[in-house]
Amino acid sequence: MLSTLRREPAAATLAVIAAAGIALVILYPFASVLQEAILHEGGLDASPVTRVIANPVTRQIVVNTLLMGVLAGLFGTILGLAFALATTRAARGPLRTLLHYAALLPLIAPPFALALSTIFLFGRNGLISKQLFGLEVSPYGLGGLLFVQTITFFPVAYLIFDALVRQMDPALEEAALNLGASRGRILRTVTLPLLRPGFAGAFLIIFVESLADLANPLLIGGDFNVLASSVYLAIIGEYDTRKAVGFAAVLLVPSLVAFFIQRLWVGEGSVVTVTGKPSTGRVAMLESWIRAGLLGVTLFTTAIVASLYLAVVAGAFTKLLGINNTLTLDNFRFVLQGIGTKAMTDTTLLSAIAAPIAGVSGLLVAWLVVRSSLRGRIAFDYLVMLGAAAPGIVLGLGLLLAFNHPPFRLTGQTAIFGGAVVFIIAFIIRTAPVSLRGNVAALMQIDPALEQASANLGAGEVTTFRRVTVPLVRRAVLSGVIFSFTRNMTTLSTVALLVTPSWRIMTSQILNEIDAQRLGSGAAYSTILIVIVLVAIVALQKLFGRTAVEVAA
Amino acid sequence: MKKLLVLATSLALLVAACGGAATPPAATGTAAGASPAPAAQGCGPKGSGSLTILGTPQEEYIQGITKAFEAECGIKTTYVRLSSGEALAKLRADKASPQFSVWWGGPADGFIAANKESLLEPYQPKGSDKIPSQYKDPTGVWTGIYVGALGVALNTKVLKDKNLPEPTSWADLVKPAYKGQISIAHPASSGTSYTFVATQAFLNNKDLTKTFAYLAEFHKNVLQYQKTGAAPARQAGQGEVAIGIVFSHDIVAAIEEGFKDLKIMFPSEGTGYEIGGMALVKGAPDPVAGKTFMDWAITVKAQEMGPQFKAYQIPTNPDAKVSDKAVKLSAVKAVTYDFQWAGDNKKAIVDRFSNEVAPQPK
Amino acid sequence: MSAYLELRGLRKRFPNGTVAVDGVDLDVREGEVVALLGPSGCGKTTTLRCIAGFEDPDEGTISLQGRRLDVLPPNRRAATMVFQGYALFPHLSVFENVAYGLRVRRVGGAALRERVERTLALVGLSGFGDRRPQQLSGGQQQRVALARALVLEPALLLFDEPLSNLDAKLREQLRLELRALVRRVGITSVYVTHDQAEAMTLADRIAVMDRGKIVQLGTPREIYDEPVARFVADFVGHANFVKGRVREVAGDAAVVDMLGTTRRAAASAPLRAGDEVEVMIRPEEITVLAADEPGTVPAVVRRAGFLGSAAVYQLACEGVELISSAPLERGAPLAADGQRVGLRIREAALRAFPL
């Protein structure tokens, strides 16, 4: 350490700052959850947790949660695979581009948006299900949840498979073809086995995301209760922190296990870079009956995605979609004249403050992990990843428990800046991990000799970092910032427990509208949110050059 | 015994007051064109100049009221909307360092329950002597701002489509035919829903065994427990269910919003009602501004603002004009609603509901 | 009187346990070019990186001009390096690459421009300043890397196999250019390479390294002609090794029984009569003559090779395989495969190493 201080003073200083930061904003909140879960009045008492398992009612919630995660993981993975195969092996030209964008679109959907339009279109009085086909379907419950979650999360699987398919050497398939195998046989014996790591990765990521999902279970879960919404209701409805912590602790276990298995399994390969257009490989098309099947499934999904988005917009611009389809701006008037304008500016401001901090702190920690020779630097990596691994509601609960009392009183409108700091912290710890992964991958591609050359030419660590490292990882940092901004704008679960009257968060306002079943205003909010996110992505890209939308899965 | 007497008198007065309010404007002397009380009437000292309200009625109403107060009295006012049960939980959680100055709106039961936990600071707003005594706590723990009856929202189109008869009583609602067709909020979060539960208790003469037997049957027909009391009106309006149990003024609001298939039904056994309360929070961040708000909130001007924000409750200030759209309470058969009992037993009843009724399979 | 650059007892062990540098002492005189030569893994690059500061030695000291270097961070050592892969900054132009060190030192304006242009001219890249490194050929990139180091007029230049990424022909050409340039600027240099031709061409002295130690330090000529160890003899140039036994010792030389005959060989270490030794014979010291030539050792040609300017023979002699390589005059006959021949071995070039 002494020699490190001498040789890498900036790295050592940074490590101390990073360690303090991580301890305060990541470890402390998690420790607060843990403490509440197993300590009570000075003694060891894990009853909040054991009660969840012992009580048949709450045990059912645990079972429901796992069931939902597993099924959403399976369906999402299969649909993602279908899209990856369709865009690379079954479709060409504009059709391929269409499928590609259809598979990316759900990534920017704010929470509730898809569930909302599911009610509009496929509800008991849905435009498509009831009014078009006269079908009696109820989206409330596991079925509706799985429908929405599959649509919401399959893009993650698509990105993973798409990257794997592209990395695959077309020569392998050509060799199999040359040896006399049919296209279908190649798919079964060569292509799919080569995609095997993708199955595990996609399934586990979607499993984790599904477990963490708060908005959809609240809106269309019906009687199908899950852990994330139970944590939320325990706080909002009863402010029973011990009850909430019990659910949270139980939810944390499968989430962390699945997340870190995925990390160890898929490793750095899990960082997937998506460029705007799918590449045209030399790979050959599949046999026509497989192509037809793939195109059928993916085009049907595309139609659903498109109609869901249209329904959000339609819901926003009509009086009461499905009841009174008169075009109106009333919903926007209601939103913008009310709290909506403040929510828009507040959320955008907080997101915009947090995004560059998340992007840069991801870079700084990545630099420590990849470049410094500090002992235990890998611990930084894993600790920062906790912020992404834990379900947002658990993180939010941790922040609430940690920062609603001295010495760090940051929540509530009587705290400093009316509680703004805790939102920024929440946004940062939630999105810095993605920036971290992107920057780790970017730094690993840079020859260390470049930084050594800079040092050798007389530049100190800071100058080297500023003049050599940063320009070379610029794209990764920018992607991290864009990702952070969009995620900040659209996250609900992390901030749902932290709302204050001084700072309005759009997603939480949507939750209020949905709560009161004001679906039109909910749709108007969602539409505004989608527009802000799209404008921000395009503007940032225009501003910083031709960077592709990069999404770290 | 004395309590019962008070209650009986209250109810009589209530019905009388409502009836009176429903009579033409001349009776109250505040016709639409007549000059209201001077603007400055409710604007007392500004305190720190900023105020945070915990509001329980529908958001549009809270937002409108806080904006109007801000414009009129120059005190920057922010709010958080939480349903009654949530608001109580929040006040409890914030007890060490309260975040809100005033809790505004929601059934009085919630205020009585909060007072039991010493979360409120008695304050009798200036001018509260005008408010009839049955609409306020004698010691100033809470002061009534509006009154409203519990109703049932029926979607006539859905009922017709499904060939279901229109229910006319609480007893009808437990018939198996309506399985999955009822929407109501959860009494733990919603004051509306708790009013429904308490109403069933009063119909059963506070016999909880009988009450919970009814609730267990009722539960089988519920699609999903909502968080917010007014939501079932719109859910029924949207056609997702046939029946929503909500305050009648929220049904009026939903119909106003365009849910044209909705209809208000008052069960034949009699229904419960709420007195929407308002109270100063104990240890409030800015009690001066909070008191100014409370003084203002019972002025005629403030009390007449409801309909602007689709709030069709009956004001408690007898001088305030009642909207034509408000439900005429005189026409409603009401149960004998014991607010004190409902408030005192709220926690126990809600816990029992959460543990015994809500988790049951359907 | 201390040397210009002085390494004392340098030792570096890596976390995985390998000892990369195992007690290196080295003195480099001012203006001198010293090559560190050895096979990969011999510790030459680690030694260089210790001088540059990219590795912390576990033991030992490094001094430059009498001042301790090893206590300074890498960016405060006036020892600039030309990297193996050049390490040119891809996001900067050629000009900015060369200017980088000057800007760090807060040189700016006309002075900066003048020094960068002059150095680019020195390496023959005038007019290339606006290009990106990726737009240059390998040889040009190499020269930019050199210019980037030279422009700082450092107290010490470090070369880390700077030519190893180039193809053979370009390497040979640049080797000569580099020598001329290094001589011209006269900066003291340490040059790491595994290519003996490069070391021989460029260096005033060569330190041959093996397993973390300097085995021999000397002029190219000393290294070639008087290797002190079999390793050096084997690594530098080609050599035949023939087993033999010392008959008697006479001063620095030993009389050795070998190849069925007796030869006098310089002793690389003290020897005694009866010692088993290996005797180094350079291929060019073996001349293939007719079998009946007097004073020759009989042998059979296994394979005769024609290399244009030279003839290379693979020979069998007393059960030992020998290589001979000798200039071939135009039109001179080449012995045939299987032909019996006589070998003349030049005694002056033989060296005996104890087994």
The verdict on A57 touching B (C-beta cutoff 8 Å) is: yes
Closest C-alpha among A415, A498, A237 to residue B98: A415
> A151 or C1: whose pLDDT is higher?
A151
Which helix (H) or strand (E) segment holds residue C344: the answer is: strand C340-345
In this structure, which amino acid lies at residue A132? Answer: L
Structure letter (DSSP) for residue A286: P
Do A240 and A48 meet the contact criterion of CB atoms below 8 Å apart? no
pLDDT at A431: 93
- Which chain A residues have a beta carbon less than 8 Å from that of C71? 6
pLDDT at A337: 83
pLDDT at B247: 95
From the CB coordinates, do chains A and C have 3 or more pairs under 8 Å? yes
pLDDT at A3: 58
- Select from B52, B63, B240 the Cβ nearest to the Cβ of A123: B240
Convert the pLDDT of each residue in C133-170 to its tens digit.
Answer: 999 998 899 999 999 999 999 999 999 999 888 888 88
pLDDT at C293: 86
- Select from C74, C85, C89 the Cβ nearest to the Cβ of A456: C74
Q: Do C89 and A454 touch (CB under 8 A)?
A: yes
Q: How confident is the model at residue A266 (pLDDT cuts 50, 70, 90)?
A: low
pLDDT at C118: 94
**Low-confidence winner among A138-152, A302-316, A409-423, A507-521 (lowest mean pLDDT):** A409-423
pLDDT at C88: 92
The verdict on C153 touching A (C-beta cutoff 8 Å) is: no
Q: How confident is the model at residue A7 (pLDDT cuts 50, 70, 90)?
A: low
What tokens were used for C14? 């890596």
Q: How much of chain C, in percent, has pLDDT values that exceed 70? A: 99
pLDDT at C268: 83
pLDDT at A340: 85
pLDDT at B68: 94
The verdict on A516 touching B (C-beta cutoff 8 Å) is: yes
Do B301 and B37 meet the contact criterion of CB atoms below 8 Å apart? yes
Q: Do C91 and A471 touch (CB under 8 A)?
A: yes
Query: Is residue A489 classed exposed, middle or buried when 0-12, 13-18 and 19+ CB atoms within 10 A define those classes?
Result: buried
Cα(A526)–Cα(A535) distance, rounded to whole angstroms?
A: 14
Convert the pLDDT of each residue in B267-324 to its tens digit.
Answer: 999 999 999 999 999 998 889 999 999 999 999 999 999 999 999 999 999 999 999 8
> C116 or A193: whose pLDDT is higher?
C116
The two most distant CA atoms of chain C are separated, in Å, by 78
pLDDT at A9: 81
Strand boundaries in chain B, DSSP class E: 50-55, 76-81, 102-107, 120-121, 146-155, 182-185, 222-226, 243-247, 262-265, 273-281, 314-315
Residue B78's beta-bridge partner residues? B52
Convert the pLDDT of each residue in B220-248 to its tens digit.
Answer: 999 888 888 999 999 999 888 999 999 99
Convert the pLDDT of each residue in A278-333 to its tens digit.
Answer: 334 455 667 788 889 999 999 999 999 999 999 999 999 998 888 888 899 989 98
Cα(B185)–Cα(B191) distance, rounded to whole angstroms?
A: 9
Cα(C85)–Cα(C100) distance, rounded to whole angstroms?
A: 18
pTM to 2 decimals? Answer: 0.82
Cα(A289)–Cα(A372) distance, rounded to whole angstroms?
A: 54
The verdict on B166 touching A (C-beta cutoff 8 Å) is: no
The verdict on C54 touching A (C-beta cutoff 8 Å) is: yes
pLDDT at B57: 94
- Which chain A residues have a beta carbon less than 8 Å from that of B281? none
Q: How confident is the model at residue A4 (pLDDT cuts 50, 70, 90)?
A: low
In this structure, which amino acid lies at residue A483? Answer: F
> CB pairs below 8 Å between A and C: how many?
74
Please check the confidence at residue C252 and state whether its pLDDT lies above 90. no
Closest-CA distance of chain A to residue B89, Å: 5
Q: Do B85 and A237 touch (CB under 8 A)?
A: yes
Average pLDDT rounded to a whole number, residues A197-222: 90
CB atoms within 10 A of CB A96: 17
Cα(B264)–Cα(B14) distance, rounded to whole angstroms?
A: 21
Q: Which residue has the tokens 């240059």?
A: C136
* Radius of gyration of the CA atoms of chain C, in A: 24
Average pLDDT rounded to a whole number, residues A450-470: 91
Convert the pLDDT of each residue in A463-475 to its tens digit.
Answer: 999 999 999 898 8
- Over chain A, what is the mean pLDDT? 86
Please check the confidence at residue A72 and state whether its pLDDT lies above 80. yes
Cα(A52)–Cα(B186) distance, rounded to whole angstroms?
A: 21
Indicate which of B53, B59, B189, B286 best probes the interface with A, i.e. most A CBs within 10 Å of its own CB.
B59
Please check the confidence at residue B24 and state whether its pLDDT lies above 80. no
The verdict on C162 touching A (C-beta cutoff 8 Å) is: no
Chain B partners (3+ C-beta pairs within 8 A): A
The verdict on B79 touching A (C-beta cutoff 8 Å) is: yes
pLDDT at A514: 86
* B88-127 residues touching A, CB cutoff 8 A: 89-90, 92-94, 96-97, 99
Closest-CA distance of chain B to residue A244, Å: 13
Output the CA torsion B329→B331→B335→B339 (10° steps): 10
Q: How confident is the model at residue B12 (pLDDT cuts 50, 70, 90)?
A: very low
Please check the confidence at residue A396 and state whether its pLDDT lies above 90. yes
Cα(B29)–Cα(A428) distance, rounded to whole angstroms?
A: 58
pLDDT at B157: 94
Convert the pLDDT of each residue in C24-76 to its tens digit.
Answer: 999 999 999 999 999 999 999 999 999 998 888 999 999 999 999 988 888 88
pLDDT at A284: 60
- Select from C54, C84, C152 the Cβ nearest to the Cβ of A457: C152
Indicate which of A4, A450, A456 best probes the interface with C, i.e. most C CBs within 10 Å of its own CB.
A456
Q: How confident is the model at residue C82 (pLDDT cuts 50, 70, 90)?
A: very high
pLDDT at A548: 41
Please check the confidence at residue B7 and state whether its pLDDT lies above 50. no
The verdict on B50 touching A (C-beta cutoff 8 Å) is: no
**Low-confidence winner among A88-92, A325-329, B337-341 (lowest mean pLDDT):** A88-92
Name the closest residue on chain A to residue C150, using Cα atoms: A457
Q: How confident is the model at residue B360 (pLDDT cuts 50, 70, 90)?
A: confident
pLDDT at A544: 67
Convert the pLDDT of each residue in C326-339 to its tens digit.
Answer: 887 777 778 889 99
Q: How much of chain B, in percent, has pLDDT values that exceed 70? A: 88
- Over chain B, what is the mean pLDDT? 86
Convert the pLDDT of each residue in C195-242 to its tens digit.
Answer: 999 999 999 999 999 999 999 999 999 999 999 999 999 999 889 999
- Which chain C residues have a beta carbon less than 8 Å from that of A454? 75, 89, 100
Average pLDDT rounded to a whole number, residues A198-208: 91
| Helix (H/G/I), strand (E/B), else coil: B264 | strand
Q: Angle A340-371/A330-337 helices, nearest 10 degrees? A: 70
pLDDT at A281: 46
Terminal CA-CA length for chain A:
35
> C294 or B29: whose pLDDT is higher?
C294
- Select from A7, A449, A459 the Cβ nearest to the Cβ of C83: A449
Reported ipTM: the value is 0.82
Q: Do B234 and A223 touch (CB under 8 A)?
A: no
- Which chain B residues have a beta carbon less than 8 Å from that of A519? 234, 238
Convert the pLDDT of each residue in C298-322 to its tens digit.
Answer: 999 999 988 888 889 999 998 899 9
pLDDT at A269: 45
pLDDT at A545: 55
